[in-house]
Amino acid sequence: MLSYYVEREDGTRSADYLHGKMYVTDAQGQKLAEWPYRFYKGDEYGYYQFVLSKAAEQAIVHFEISAISSVNHPAKQGKWHVTVPVDMQKAMAATKQLPIGQQFTAEKGLSFDLVKISYSPSAIRLTIGTDWKKEAETRIQNLIRQMKGTNDDRKLLLGNYAFSYRILDQAGNVVVQKEGVDDWLNVISSYSTTDPVDGGRKEFQETFVPIHRENLRFVLDGLTIVEPADLQMSLSGLLKQGSVTQEYEGDTFTAAHLQMKQVGKDRMATLEITGKIKEPHVYQWRLVDSQGRVYESVIQHQEDEEISRLNDNKLWELRQTLSFPDLNNLSGTYTLQLKSIPRWYPTHWEVSLPKIP
């Protein structure tokens, strides 16, 4: 993690945007990181997170900047080549790692383990382990079998969950917050270092800007779990023209233009989906005909799916073009089924975080 600021001619500091190439090498010039893994813009400092391919005694961060810009100032063109040597041994020595060892079981049987916290001059990192309790995992596996789920359904229901939390200071002020996809305060990055296919333990690395406050507390506010949906939309008469709209658990979906199309070398049924949704999710669908035959949908191309934030900043807009490779002739009636949906479960768990010794 590397923090920086840009000092202007009047002496003010700002976390301006740097345009160009940024990478890391060792002392011999071998690249350890081709580009930053993550960028976070604070009020005064910017933060670049690099993931190194291997350990090195010395790392050199290279900045090859062609422009500097900010929201309030026009872009300044130029040529700035800067190298920043980092003594990795000193950086590691300055990092203090403290165990926490607190566990909690939240809604639906998802367990949390606050493993450790690491304090460094440029960032704080909290390691959080998650896993399904045995009874919960068995229940989910049974649900997958009941819905005749695919491997993709198994990944979604067992592994595609998220959690929201805050970190409070001694006075109860929120100094760090992660809620939803992008409602973050002082969070630089959040990712899982393990991603088991069929459940199992995941370990999240939550990295935030240095917080110079006493008696910090971690508060788990809730979690979003993907569960089977019960939305069915009759597409009777929806051939080429017309549409059908249905609301489900606060989301609104519209299906339109069920038709046969040439997709690459194959001819198959396609369907357009639009929606206003509470939060992004991997929305997967299937068609069921009057004989009970099931046709799974696929997204053929990246441009066939788009999820974007609406202007009101409360809802997201979903656009999908679904293809059904196994359905090569439209006859009879069809029902569209949504396979799964994210659901929010509030909870409360509070843990005092260890202080820097």
Per DSSP bridges, beta strands 305-309 and 183-185 are: unpaired
Q: Do 141 and 80 share a structural domain?
A: no
Confidence at residue 198, expressed as pLDDT on a 0 to 100 scale: 63
Q: Do 292 and 168 share a structural domain?
A: no
Q: How far is the C-alpha of 229 from the C-alpha of 209, rounded, in Å?
A: 38
Tell whether 307 is covered by a domain.
yes
CB 17 within 8 A of CB 30: no
For the whole model, what pTM was predicted? 0.82
pLDDT, tens digit (0-9, with 9 covering 90-100), for 246-296: 999 999 999 998 988 888 888 999 999 999 998 888 899 999 998 999 999
Length of the chain: 357
Of 213, 62, 63, 55, give the one whose Cα is nearest residue 124.
213
Q: How far is CA 351 from the centre of its chain?
A: 24
Tell whether 261 is covered by a domain.
yes
Q: Do 193 and 106 share a structural domain?
A: yes
Q: Do 79 and 10 share a structural domain?
A: yes
Single residue among 93, 119, 141 that ends a domain in this structure: 93
222: which 2 tokens?
A: 């809730």
Structural domain count of the chain = 3
What are the start-end ranges of the H helices in the chain?
88-93, 134-146, 151-159
Tell whether 357 is covered by a domain.
no
Sheet holding 96-105, edge to edge: 96-105, 110-119, 124-132, 202-208, 187-192
Tell whether 308 is covered by a domain.
yes
Q: How far is the C-alpha of 168 from the C-alpha of 152, rounded, in Å?
A: 37
Confidence at residue 131, expressed as pLDDT on a 0 to 100 scale: 95
Domain that holds residue 326: 229-340
Single residue among 66, 93, 120 that ends a domain in this structure: 93
Q: Do 157 and 47 share a structural domain?
A: no
CB 116 within 8 A of CB 106: no
135: left (phi over 0), alpha (psi -120 to 50) or beta: alpha
Tell whether 183 is covered by a domain.
yes
Q: Do 240 and 219 share a structural domain?
A: no
Q: Do 288 and 235 share a structural domain?
A: yes
CB 219 within 8 A of CB 168: yes
Tell whether 79 is covered by a domain.
yes
Tokens 């609301």 correspond to 247
Q: How far is the C-alpha of 183 from the C-alpha of 249, rounded, in Å?
A: 21
CATH number, position 170: 2.60.40
Tell whether 140 is covered by a domain.
yes
Q: How far is the C-alpha of 247 from the C-alpha of 60, rounded, in Å?
A: 54
Q: Do 24 and 122 share a structural domain?
A: no
Q: Do 265 and 275 share a structural domain?
A: yes
Tell whether 321 is covered by a domain.
yes
Tokens 């339109």 correspond to 256
Single residue among 39, 74, 93 that ends a domain in this structure: 93
Confidence at residue 161, expressed as pLDDT on a 0 to 100 scale: 92
Q: Do 76 and 18 share a structural domain?
A: yes
Confidence at residue 314, expressed as pLDDT on a 0 to 100 scale: 78
pLDDT per residue of the chain (357 residues) written in tens, 0 to 9: 888 888 877 888 888 889 999 999 999 999 999 988 888 887 778 888 888 888 888 899 999 999 999 877 778 899 999 999 998 888 888 889 999 999 999 989 999 999 999 998 888 999 999 999 999 999 999 999 999 888 889 988 998 899 999 999 999 999 999 987 777 888 988 888 776 666 689 999 999 988 888 899 999 999 999 999 999 999 876 665 678 999 999 999 999 989 888 888 889 999 999 999 988 888 999 999 989 999 999 998 888 899 888 776 678 999 999 999 999 888 878 999 999 999 999 999 999 999 876
Q: Do 200 and 113 share a structural domain?
A: yes
Q: Do 107 and 132 share a structural domain?
A: yes
